[in-house]
Amino acid sequence: MPPSMPPSRPRFSICGFAAFCACILLNLYGIATLSARAAEALFALTRNAHETYSDNVCAEELGEGYRVADWRDIVDQYRQTGSLDGFFAQTGLKYGSAAQVTLGGEQHWRGDHRRAKRLFFIERHDGNKPEYFLAHEGINQYQLSLGSWTGARPVLCVQGAQLASQPKTQAYRKPTTSVPFGMIRRSFSQASEYDAITNKVCIDEFGPGHLIADWVDVEAYFKKTGSLEAFLTHTGLERAFVTSWGLSSVKSATGERIVFLTTEYLGAGERARLSGKGDSATLYLYSWPKDMDKGGGSLNALCTVPAHSVRSSLPFALTRNIYSAFSDSTCVSEFGKGFRIADWKDVVDYYMKTDRSLGTFYLMTDMDRYDTAWVTRDGKPYHSSGAYHIIRFGNDPKGDYAHSIHDGINQFAGFGRELGLMSDWNPRPVLCARAPMNRKPISVSIEKPR
Protein backbone atom coordinates (compact mmCIF):
# COMPACT_ATOMS: atom_id res chain seq x y z
CA MET A 1 0.00 0.00 0.00
CA PRO A 2 1.63 3.21 -1.07
CA PRO A 3 2.41 5.66 1.65
CA SER A 4 -0.22 8.37 2.12
CA MET A 5 0.57 11.62 0.39
CA PRO A 6 0.49 14.89 2.29
CA PRO A 7 -2.39 17.18 1.34
CA SER A 8 -1.47 19.45 -1.55
CA ARG A 9 -1.11 23.20 -0.87
CA PRO A 10 -2.97 25.70 -3.02
CA ARG A 11 -0.62 27.25 -5.53
CA PHE A 12 -0.37 31.02 -5.80
CA SER A 13 -1.14 32.23 -9.33
CA ILE A 14 -0.36 35.79 -10.45
CA CYS A 15 -2.78 35.40 -13.34
CA GLY A 16 -5.55 34.24 -11.03
CA PHE A 17 -4.94 37.12 -8.62
CA ALA A 18 -4.98 39.62 -11.49
CA ALA A 19 -8.24 38.22 -12.77
CA PHE A 20 -9.70 38.45 -9.27
CA CYS A 21 -8.69 42.11 -8.96
CA ALA A 22 -10.00 42.88 -12.42
CA CYS A 23 -13.32 41.32 -11.50
CA ILE A 24 -13.59 43.50 -8.38
CA LEU A 25 -12.68 46.63 -10.34
CA LEU A 26 -15.23 45.82 -13.02
CA ASN A 27 -17.89 45.28 -10.38
CA LEU A 28 -17.02 48.56 -8.68
CA TYR A 29 -17.08 50.32 -12.04
CA GLY A 30 -20.45 48.80 -12.79
CA ILE A 31 -21.84 49.90 -9.44
CA ALA A 32 -20.51 53.42 -9.93
CA THR A 33 -21.94 53.55 -13.45
CA LEU A 34 -25.32 52.35 -12.27
CA SER A 35 -25.26 54.88 -9.43
CA ALA A 36 -24.39 57.67 -11.84
CA ARG A 37 -27.14 56.60 -14.21
CA ALA A 38 -29.59 56.39 -11.34
CA ALA A 39 -28.75 59.97 -10.41
CA GLU A 40 -28.97 61.16 -14.02
CA ALA A 41 -32.34 61.04 -15.76
CA LEU A 42 -32.40 59.97 -19.42
CA PHE A 43 -33.74 62.80 -21.58
CA ALA A 44 -34.61 62.74 -25.28
CA LEU A 45 -36.45 64.90 -27.83
CA THR A 46 -39.28 63.77 -30.07
CA ARG A 47 -38.57 63.83 -33.79
CA ASN A 48 -41.79 65.70 -34.54
CA ALA A 49 -43.01 69.09 -33.33
CA HIS A 50 -46.22 69.15 -31.30
CA GLU A 51 -48.53 71.86 -30.04
CA THR A 52 -50.82 69.33 -28.35
CA TYR A 53 -48.91 66.69 -26.42
CA SER A 54 -49.05 64.26 -23.52
CA ASP A 55 -47.06 61.34 -22.12
CA ASN A 56 -48.47 59.23 -24.98
CA VAL A 57 -46.52 61.33 -27.50
CA CYS A 58 -43.26 60.43 -25.73
CA ALA A 59 -44.18 56.75 -25.46
CA GLU A 60 -45.19 56.53 -29.14
CA GLU A 61 -42.03 58.19 -30.47
CA LEU A 62 -39.41 57.03 -27.96
CA GLY A 63 -40.79 53.89 -26.37
CA GLU A 64 -42.48 52.71 -23.23
CA GLY A 65 -41.34 54.37 -20.02
CA TYR A 66 -40.89 57.86 -21.49
CA ARG A 67 -43.07 60.77 -20.37
CA VAL A 68 -43.14 64.54 -20.87
CA ALA A 69 -40.28 66.10 -18.93
CA ASP A 70 -40.95 68.73 -16.30
CA TRP A 71 -38.73 71.76 -15.78
CA ARG A 72 -38.03 70.53 -12.28
CA ASP A 73 -36.67 67.24 -13.66
CA ILE A 74 -33.95 69.30 -15.34
CA VAL A 75 -33.38 71.41 -12.23
CA ASP A 76 -33.12 68.29 -10.04
CA GLN A 77 -30.52 66.75 -12.36
CA TYR A 78 -28.55 70.00 -12.50
CA ARG A 79 -28.46 70.14 -8.71
CA GLN A 80 -27.22 66.55 -8.57
CA THR A 81 -24.56 66.85 -11.29
CA GLY A 82 -23.68 70.56 -11.17
CA SER A 83 -23.64 70.74 -14.96
CA LEU A 84 -25.89 70.79 -18.03
CA ASP A 85 -23.29 69.15 -20.27
CA GLY A 86 -24.81 65.69 -19.86
CA PHE A 87 -28.29 67.02 -20.56
CA PHE A 88 -27.17 68.73 -23.77
CA ALA A 89 -25.27 65.61 -24.85
CA GLN A 90 -28.35 63.42 -24.33
CA THR A 91 -30.83 65.70 -26.09
CA GLY A 92 -28.62 67.25 -28.74
CA LEU A 93 -30.19 70.61 -27.88
CA LYS A 94 -28.21 73.31 -29.69
CA TYR A 95 -27.95 77.03 -29.00
CA GLY A 96 -31.30 78.68 -29.79
CA SER A 97 -33.16 75.36 -29.98
CA ALA A 98 -36.36 74.87 -27.97
CA ALA A 99 -38.56 72.04 -26.70
CA GLN A 100 -41.93 71.77 -24.94
CA VAL A 101 -41.97 70.89 -21.21
CA THR A 102 -44.29 71.23 -18.25
CA LEU A 103 -43.84 73.24 -15.06
CA GLY A 104 -45.14 71.50 -11.96
CA GLY A 105 -47.16 69.25 -14.25
CA GLU A 106 -48.79 72.22 -16.02
CA GLN A 107 -48.41 72.74 -19.77
CA HIS A 108 -49.79 76.29 -19.86
CA TRP A 109 -48.70 79.44 -18.07
CA ARG A 110 -51.75 80.52 -16.08
CA GLY A 111 -50.48 84.04 -15.46
CA ASP A 112 -51.34 85.32 -18.92
CA HIS A 113 -54.25 87.73 -18.42
CA ARG A 114 -55.18 87.41 -22.11
CA ARG A 115 -55.85 83.72 -21.50
CA ALA A 116 -53.72 82.76 -24.50
CA LYS A 117 -52.60 79.13 -24.49
CA ARG A 118 -48.96 79.84 -23.80
CA LEU A 119 -47.04 76.58 -23.53
CA PHE A 120 -43.99 76.15 -21.28
CA PHE A 121 -40.82 75.41 -23.23
CA ILE A 122 -37.07 75.41 -22.70
CA GLU A 123 -34.54 77.18 -24.90
CA ARG A 124 -30.76 76.97 -24.80
CA HIS A 125 -29.13 80.38 -24.45
CA ASP A 126 -25.66 79.60 -23.05
CA GLY A 127 -25.87 82.70 -20.85
CA ASN A 128 -26.84 85.04 -23.70
CA LYS A 129 -30.60 85.29 -23.21
CA PRO A 130 -32.12 87.74 -25.73
CA GLU A 131 -33.71 90.84 -24.23
CA TYR A 132 -37.06 90.01 -25.83
CA PHE A 133 -37.18 86.54 -24.24
CA LEU A 134 -39.51 86.45 -21.22
CA ALA A 135 -37.86 83.87 -18.94
CA HIS A 136 -39.88 82.46 -16.04
CA GLU A 137 -36.75 80.74 -14.69
CA GLY A 138 -33.20 79.96 -15.73
CA ILE A 139 -30.41 77.54 -14.89
CA ASN A 140 -26.78 78.58 -14.47
CA GLN A 141 -27.25 82.23 -15.41
CA TYR A 142 -29.64 81.34 -18.23
CA GLN A 143 -27.52 78.69 -19.86
CA LEU A 144 -30.96 77.11 -20.18
CA SER A 145 -34.13 79.22 -19.94
CA LEU A 146 -37.78 78.44 -19.29
CA GLY A 147 -40.19 80.46 -21.41
CA SER A 148 -43.81 80.28 -22.52
CA TRP A 149 -45.44 80.97 -25.87
CA THR A 150 -47.76 79.43 -28.40
CA GLY A 151 -46.67 77.18 -31.26
CA ALA A 152 -45.45 73.66 -32.04
CA ARG A 153 -42.02 72.40 -30.92
CA PRO A 154 -40.36 69.06 -30.27
CA VAL A 155 -41.30 67.65 -26.87
CA LEU A 156 -38.67 66.98 -24.23
CA CYS A 157 -39.22 63.53 -22.76
CA VAL A 158 -37.62 61.76 -19.82
CA GLN A 159 -37.34 58.12 -18.88
CA GLY A 160 -37.57 56.73 -15.37
CA ALA A 161 -38.92 57.93 -12.05
CA GLN A 162 -41.07 61.02 -12.08
CA LEU A 163 -38.66 63.28 -10.26
CA ALA A 164 -40.97 66.26 -10.35
CA SER A 165 -43.91 64.43 -8.77
CA GLN A 166 -42.04 62.46 -6.11
CA PRO A 167 -42.77 63.62 -2.55
CA LYS A 168 -40.08 66.11 -1.61
CA THR A 169 -39.33 64.95 1.91
CA GLN A 170 -36.50 67.44 2.15
CA ALA A 171 -39.07 70.21 1.68
CA TYR A 172 -40.43 69.64 5.17
CA ARG A 173 -37.24 69.88 7.18
CA LYS A 174 -37.33 72.08 10.20
CA PRO A 175 -35.38 75.34 10.11
CA THR A 176 -31.70 74.67 10.81
CA THR A 177 -28.68 76.73 11.77
CA SER A 178 -27.45 76.82 8.17
CA VAL A 179 -30.87 77.25 6.52
CA PRO A 180 -33.20 78.85 9.09
CA PHE A 181 -36.36 78.17 7.06
CA GLY A 182 -38.85 75.31 6.78
CA MET A 183 -41.92 74.57 4.68
CA ILE A 184 -45.11 73.20 6.20
CA ARG A 185 -46.79 70.15 4.64
CA ARG A 186 -50.27 71.66 4.59
CA SER A 187 -51.27 73.65 1.50
CA PHE A 188 -53.97 76.32 1.13
CA SER A 189 -55.83 76.63 -2.15
CA GLN A 190 -59.04 78.53 -1.34
CA ALA A 191 -59.39 82.24 -0.72
CA SER A 192 -61.34 81.45 2.45
CA GLU A 193 -58.33 79.51 3.80
CA TYR A 194 -55.74 82.27 3.47
CA ASP A 195 -56.79 84.02 6.67
CA ALA A 196 -55.81 80.81 8.51
CA ILE A 197 -52.16 81.21 7.45
CA THR A 198 -50.80 82.61 10.69
CA ASN A 199 -47.89 81.81 12.99
CA LYS A 200 -50.04 78.97 14.34
CA VAL A 201 -49.50 76.84 11.21
CA CYS A 202 -45.73 77.05 11.80
CA ILE A 203 -46.14 76.17 15.47
CA ASP A 204 -48.36 73.19 14.60
CA GLU A 205 -45.76 71.90 12.12
CA PHE A 206 -42.46 72.67 13.84
CA GLY A 207 -43.29 73.44 17.47
CA PRO A 208 -43.38 76.51 19.73
CA GLY A 209 -41.28 79.50 18.74
CA HIS A 210 -41.72 79.23 14.97
CA LEU A 211 -43.40 81.94 12.91
CA ILE A 212 -44.26 82.88 9.33
CA ALA A 213 -41.12 84.02 7.50
CA ASP A 214 -40.91 87.53 6.12
CA TRP A 215 -39.44 88.70 2.83
CA VAL A 216 -36.84 90.68 4.73
CA ASP A 217 -35.79 87.45 6.51
CA VAL A 218 -35.13 85.76 3.17
CA GLU A 219 -33.40 88.86 1.84
CA ALA A 220 -31.11 88.99 4.89
CA TYR A 221 -30.26 85.29 4.44
CA PHE A 222 -29.41 85.89 0.77
CA LYS A 223 -27.19 88.87 1.59
CA LYS A 224 -25.32 86.70 4.07
CA THR A 225 -24.88 83.63 1.83
CA GLY A 226 -24.88 85.15 -1.66
CA SER A 227 -26.80 82.13 -2.98
CA LEU A 228 -30.26 80.59 -2.84
CA GLU A 229 -29.27 77.01 -3.76
CA ALA A 230 -29.18 75.63 -0.22
CA PHE A 231 -32.41 77.47 0.61
CA LEU A 232 -34.26 76.08 -2.44
CA THR A 233 -32.95 72.54 -1.95
CA HIS A 234 -33.81 72.51 1.75
CA THR A 235 -37.32 73.96 1.43
CA GLY A 236 -38.33 72.65 -2.00
CA LEU A 237 -40.14 75.97 -2.40
CA GLU A 238 -42.57 76.37 -5.29
CA ARG A 239 -45.17 78.81 -3.96
CA ALA A 240 -45.24 79.80 -0.32
CA PHE A 241 -47.08 82.38 1.76
CA VAL A 242 -44.85 84.89 3.57
CA THR A 243 -45.29 88.34 5.01
CA SER A 244 -43.72 91.45 3.50
CA TRP A 245 -42.20 93.88 5.96
CA GLY A 246 -44.48 92.43 8.60
CA LEU A 247 -47.62 92.68 6.47
CA SER A 248 -49.65 89.57 5.66
CA SER A 249 -51.46 91.41 2.86
CA VAL A 250 -51.07 94.66 0.97
CA LYS A 251 -53.59 97.15 -0.34
CA SER A 252 -54.46 97.86 -3.95
CA ALA A 253 -57.19 99.60 -5.90
CA THR A 254 -59.00 96.25 -6.21
CA GLY A 255 -58.75 95.27 -2.55
CA GLU A 256 -56.37 93.31 -0.35
CA ARG A 257 -53.66 91.22 -2.01
CA ILE A 258 -51.77 88.37 -0.36
CA VAL A 259 -47.99 88.20 -0.71
CA PHE A 260 -46.09 85.02 -1.52
CA LEU A 261 -42.79 83.66 -2.81
CA THR A 262 -42.38 81.59 -5.96
CA THR A 263 -39.63 80.41 -8.29
CA GLU A 264 -41.92 80.95 -11.29
CA TYR A 265 -42.08 84.24 -13.18
CA LEU A 266 -45.76 85.26 -13.19
CA GLY A 267 -45.66 88.74 -14.70
CA ALA A 268 -47.88 91.40 -13.12
CA GLY A 269 -47.77 91.67 -9.36
CA GLU A 270 -44.00 91.29 -8.91
CA ARG A 271 -42.70 93.26 -5.92
CA ALA A 272 -39.08 92.06 -5.67
CA ARG A 273 -36.71 89.28 -6.76
CA LEU A 274 -33.48 87.59 -5.68
CA SER A 275 -30.97 85.58 -7.70
CA GLY A 276 -27.33 84.68 -7.09
CA LYS A 277 -24.63 83.83 -9.62
CA GLY A 278 -24.93 80.15 -10.50
CA ASP A 279 -28.34 79.73 -8.81
CA SER A 280 -30.65 77.32 -10.61
CA ALA A 281 -33.68 79.57 -10.08
CA THR A 282 -34.76 83.12 -9.30
CA LEU A 283 -36.92 83.81 -6.25
CA TYR A 284 -39.79 86.25 -6.78
CA LEU A 285 -42.02 88.10 -4.31
CA TYR A 286 -45.54 88.64 -5.68
CA SER A 287 -48.81 90.09 -4.50
CA TRP A 288 -52.07 88.81 -5.97
CA PRO A 289 -55.75 89.14 -5.14
CA LYS A 290 -56.90 86.74 -2.47
CA ASP A 291 -58.96 84.75 -4.96
CA MET A 292 -55.77 84.15 -6.98
CA ASP A 293 -57.83 84.51 -10.17
CA LYS A 294 -54.71 85.46 -12.13
CA GLY A 295 -52.91 82.18 -12.09
CA GLY A 296 -54.34 79.96 -9.37
CA GLY A 297 -52.33 77.42 -7.47
CA SER A 298 -52.11 76.40 -3.86
CA LEU A 299 -49.75 77.91 -1.30
CA ASN A 300 -47.72 76.40 1.49
CA ALA A 301 -46.26 78.56 4.24
CA LEU A 302 -42.59 79.37 4.78
CA CYS A 303 -41.59 79.39 8.44
CA THR A 304 -38.56 80.59 10.37
CA VAL A 305 -37.46 81.15 13.98
CA PRO A 306 -37.52 84.42 15.95
CA ALA A 307 -33.73 84.38 16.36
CA HIS A 308 -33.40 84.78 12.59
CA SER A 309 -36.45 86.96 11.96
CA VAL A 310 -35.33 90.41 10.87
CA ARG A 311 -38.84 91.81 11.11
CA SER A 312 -38.68 91.42 14.89
CA SER A 313 -36.68 94.66 14.82
CA LEU A 314 -38.83 96.61 12.34
CA PRO A 315 -39.48 100.00 13.95
CA PHE A 316 -42.97 100.78 12.58
CA ALA A 317 -46.26 99.02 11.89
CA LEU A 318 -49.64 100.27 10.70
CA THR A 319 -52.80 98.85 12.26
CA ARG A 320 -55.08 96.97 9.92
CA ASN A 321 -58.14 98.43 11.66
CA ILE A 322 -59.46 101.99 11.56
CA TYR A 323 -60.01 103.79 14.86
CA SER A 324 -61.88 106.83 16.11
CA ALA A 325 -60.79 106.00 19.66
CA PHE A 326 -57.37 104.50 20.35
CA SER A 327 -54.53 104.31 22.85
CA ASP A 328 -51.07 102.81 23.29
CA SER A 329 -52.88 99.58 24.18
CA THR A 330 -54.25 99.53 20.61
CA CYS A 331 -50.71 99.03 19.32
CA VAL A 332 -49.98 96.38 21.92
CA SER A 333 -53.12 94.44 21.05
CA GLU A 334 -52.30 94.38 17.31
CA PHE A 335 -48.50 93.99 17.43
CA GLY A 336 -47.46 92.93 20.92
CA LYS A 337 -45.49 94.37 23.79
CA GLY A 338 -42.95 97.06 23.01
CA PHE A 339 -45.21 99.00 20.64
CA ARG A 340 -46.86 102.37 21.31
CA ILE A 341 -48.47 105.14 19.26
CA ALA A 342 -45.76 106.57 17.02
CA ASP A 343 -44.71 110.18 17.40
CA TRP A 344 -43.93 112.49 14.48
CA LYS A 345 -40.40 112.77 15.89
CA ASP A 346 -40.01 108.96 15.57
CA VAL A 347 -40.68 109.23 11.85
CA VAL A 348 -38.37 112.23 11.38
CA ASP A 349 -35.55 110.50 13.28
CA TYR A 350 -35.96 107.34 11.17
CA TYR A 351 -35.89 109.45 8.00
CA MET A 352 -32.60 111.04 9.07
CA LYS A 353 -31.04 107.67 10.03
CA THR A 354 -31.89 106.11 6.65
CA ASP A 355 -30.00 108.70 4.58
CA ARG A 356 -33.15 110.79 4.10
CA SER A 357 -35.21 108.06 2.51
CA LEU A 358 -38.81 106.98 3.17
CA GLY A 359 -38.76 103.91 0.93
CA THR A 360 -38.48 101.28 3.66
CA PHE A 361 -40.96 103.20 5.82
CA TYR A 362 -43.57 102.85 3.07
CA LEU A 363 -42.78 99.14 2.70
CA MET A 364 -43.25 98.55 6.42
CA THR A 365 -46.51 100.47 6.60
CA ASP A 366 -47.86 99.75 3.08
CA MET A 367 -48.82 103.42 2.81
CA ASP A 368 -49.87 104.55 -0.67
CA ARG A 369 -50.34 108.11 -1.88
CA TYR A 370 -52.80 110.04 0.29
CA ASP A 371 -52.98 107.27 2.91
CA THR A 372 -53.09 108.60 6.47
CA ALA A 373 -52.41 107.35 10.00
CA TRP A 374 -52.76 108.67 13.55
CA VAL A 375 -49.60 109.84 15.36
CA THR A 376 -48.71 112.18 18.21
CA ARG A 377 -46.55 115.29 18.08
CA ASP A 378 -44.07 115.75 20.91
CA GLY A 379 -46.16 113.28 22.91
CA LYS A 380 -49.38 115.24 22.42
CA PRO A 381 -52.29 113.79 20.40
CA TYR A 382 -54.28 116.96 19.68
CA HIS A 383 -54.05 120.21 17.78
CA SER A 384 -56.76 122.83 17.88
CA SER A 385 -57.93 121.66 14.46
CA GLY A 386 -58.08 117.97 15.36
CA ALA A 387 -55.89 114.97 16.23
CA TYR A 388 -52.48 114.67 14.60
CA HIS A 389 -52.00 112.34 11.64
CA ILE A 390 -49.48 111.82 8.88
CA ILE A 391 -50.34 111.78 5.18
CA ARG A 392 -48.28 110.49 2.29
CA PHE A 393 -48.36 112.97 -0.59
CA GLY A 394 -45.89 111.05 -2.77
CA ASN A 395 -43.84 112.63 -5.55
CA ASP A 396 -46.61 114.97 -6.61
CA PRO A 397 -48.23 116.28 -3.42
CA LYS A 398 -51.50 118.14 -3.69
CA GLY A 399 -50.95 121.87 -3.69
CA ASP A 400 -54.20 122.55 -1.84
CA TYR A 401 -52.87 120.64 1.18
CA ALA A 402 -49.59 122.51 1.37
CA HIS A 403 -51.00 125.44 3.34
CA SER A 404 -52.60 123.26 6.01
CA ILE A 405 -49.77 120.96 7.06
CA HIS A 406 -48.06 121.53 10.41
CA ASP A 407 -44.75 119.97 9.32
CA GLY A 408 -43.35 117.82 6.57
CA ILE A 409 -40.50 115.62 5.34
CA ASN A 410 -38.63 115.90 2.04
CA GLN A 411 -39.88 119.19 0.62
CA PHE A 412 -40.64 119.59 -3.08
CA ALA A 413 -40.27 123.03 -4.63
CA GLY A 414 -43.63 124.77 -4.39
CA PHE A 415 -45.57 121.59 -3.62
CA GLY A 416 -45.43 121.02 0.13
CA ARG A 417 -43.84 117.78 1.44
CA GLU A 418 -43.62 114.10 0.51
CA LEU A 419 -44.88 113.11 3.97
CA GLY A 420 -46.89 115.66 5.89
CA LEU A 421 -48.20 116.15 9.42
CA MET A 422 -51.79 117.35 9.57
CA SER A 423 -54.79 117.23 11.93
CA ASP A 424 -58.51 116.56 11.64
CA TRP A 425 -61.29 114.41 13.17
CA ASN A 426 -61.72 111.56 10.63
CA PRO A 427 -61.21 107.88 11.66
CA ARG A 428 -58.10 106.14 10.29
CA PRO A 429 -55.44 103.51 11.14
CA VAL A 430 -52.86 104.10 13.87
CA LEU A 431 -49.13 104.26 13.20
CA CYS A 432 -47.35 102.26 15.89
CA ALA A 433 -43.66 102.38 16.79
CA ARG A 434 -41.45 99.81 18.46
CA ALA A 435 -39.88 102.16 20.98
CA PRO A 436 -39.54 102.74 24.73
CA MET A 437 -42.48 104.33 26.51
CA ASN A 438 -40.73 107.63 27.29
CA ARG A 439 -43.95 109.43 28.15
CA LYS A 440 -47.21 108.81 29.96
CA PRO A 441 -49.64 106.38 28.25
CA ILE A 442 -51.99 108.12 25.82
CA SER A 443 -55.66 107.55 25.16
CA VAL A 444 -57.38 109.41 22.30
CA SER A 445 -61.04 109.83 21.42
CA ILE A 446 -61.81 111.55 18.15
CA GLU A 447 -64.87 113.72 18.62
CA LYS A 448 -65.15 116.90 16.60
CA PRO A 449 -65.93 119.86 18.88
CA ARG A 450 -69.40 121.34 18.42
- H helices present in 166-321, as ranges: 199-206, 215-225, 229-235
Q: In terms of residues, how long is the chain?
A: 450
Note the pLDDT of residue 395: 59
Candidates 74, 86, 94; CA nearest to 139 is: 74
Please spell the DSSP secondary structure of 305-348, one letter per residue: -TTT-GGGG--EEE-SS-BSEEEHHHHHHHH-TTEEEPBHHHHH
Q: Which amino acid is at 25?
A: L
Please spell the DSSP secondary structure of 85-150, one letter per residue: HHHHHHH-PPTT-EEE-BBTTBSB-TT-TT---PEEEEEE-TT---TT---SEEETTTTEEEEEES
What is the full per-residue pLDDT of the chain (450 aa) written as tens digits?
444 444 444 444 444 555 555 444 444 444 344 334 334 568 999 999 999 898 999 999 999 899 999 988 898 888 888 889 999 999 999 999 999 999 878 888 765 544 457 899 999 999 899 888 878 788 888 899 988 888 999 999 998 765 544 433 333 568 888 889 998 877 776 667 777 788 888 888 888 878 889 888 998 899 889 888 888 888 878 788 888 877 777 666 556 778 889 888 877 778 888 888 777 788 998 887 776 544 445 788 899 987 777 766 778 988 878 999 999 999 988 877 889 999 999 999 988 887 677 777 887 787 877 889 999 999 999 998 899 999 988 655 454 455 578 888 875 444 456 888 999 999 999 999 988 888 888 888 876 555
- Is residue 146 within 8 A of residue 101, CB to CB? The reply is yes
SS3 6: coil
- Is residue 324 within 8 A of residue 427, CB to CB? The reply is yes
Q: Where are the domains of the chain?
A: 36-164, 169-312, 315-445
- Distance, in Å, from the CA atom of 277 to the CA atom of 257, rounded to the nearest integer, reads 31
Cα dihedral across residues 168, 170, 175, 180: positive or negative: negative
- Is residue 341 within 8 A of residue 323, CB to CB? The reply is no
- Distance, in Å, from the CA atom of 328 to the CA atom of 16, rounded to the nearest integer, reads 89
Note the pLDDT of residue 153: 96
Q: What are phi and psi of 255, to 5 degrees?
A: 115, -170
- Is residue 276 within 8 A of residue 227, CB to CB? The reply is yes
Q: What are phi and psi of 5, to 5 degrees?
A: -90, 140
Candidates 292, 329, 273, 249; CA nearest to 137 is: 273
The whole model's pTM is what?
0.51
Note the pLDDT of residue 93: 95
Note the pLDDT of residue 28: 46
